[in-house]
């Protein structure tokens, strides 16, 4: 008999009811609120081309211009999109907060989410936004 961890489902359900798409997004929102950081959630729209014009809606946009994308799963489509946005908008400071940056890119992969970020010059953290990112003077040229 397989035991299912229902706490994951109830956390996601609570997050969705609070207006977020995941428990990680809700946790980051609570953390920013507790620290008194003014932020917007999924308000910024960034256009990017992918054989047609698309928009990317970052999860969090901080007052210092830093964009935070929270990821539990980091799919190949996500990675391709973020590389395209990075190339088309080089002044944007997009950073990732992963549930686990050591998760493999795909089954049997040698590299993980953090390795991918290192390769393409993205800053990343696990589970929460580092205080130094919040305190940092950002690039508000996005």
What are the structural domains, with CATH classification, of the chain?
A: 21-135 (3.40.91.30)
pTM, two decimals, is: 0.70
Q: What percent of the chain has pLDDT over 90?
A: 75
Q: With left for phi above 0 and alpha for psi between -120 and 50, is residue 102 left, alpha or beta? A: alpha
Average of per-residue pLDDT across 114-141:
90
Side-by-side strand order, sheet with 60-61: 40-41, 60-61, 66-71, 93-98, 123-126
Calculate ∠ Cα 33-34-36, nearest 5°: 65
Cα separation of 86 and 26, whole Å?
25
Beta-carbon contacts of residue 76 (< 8 Å; ≥ 6 apart)? 105, 106
């Amino acid at each position: 008999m397989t035991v299912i961890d229902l706490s994951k489902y109830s956390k996601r359900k609570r997050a969705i009811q609070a207006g977020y798409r995941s428990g990680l997004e809700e946790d980051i929102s609570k953390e920013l609120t507790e620290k008194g950081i003014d932020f917007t959630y999924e308000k910024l729209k960034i256009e990017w081309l992918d054989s047609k014009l698309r928009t990317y809606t970052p999860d969090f946009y901080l007052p210092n211009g830093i964009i935070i994308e929270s990821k539990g799963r980091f799919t190949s489509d996500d990675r391709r999109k973020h590389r395209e946005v990075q190339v088309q908008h080089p002044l944007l400071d997009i950073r990732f907060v992963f549930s686990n940056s050591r998760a493999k890119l795909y089954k049997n992969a040698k590299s993980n989410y953090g390795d991918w970020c290192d390769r393409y010059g993205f800053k990343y953290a696990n589970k929460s936004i580092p205080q130094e990112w919040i305190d940092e003077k950002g690039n508000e040229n996005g």
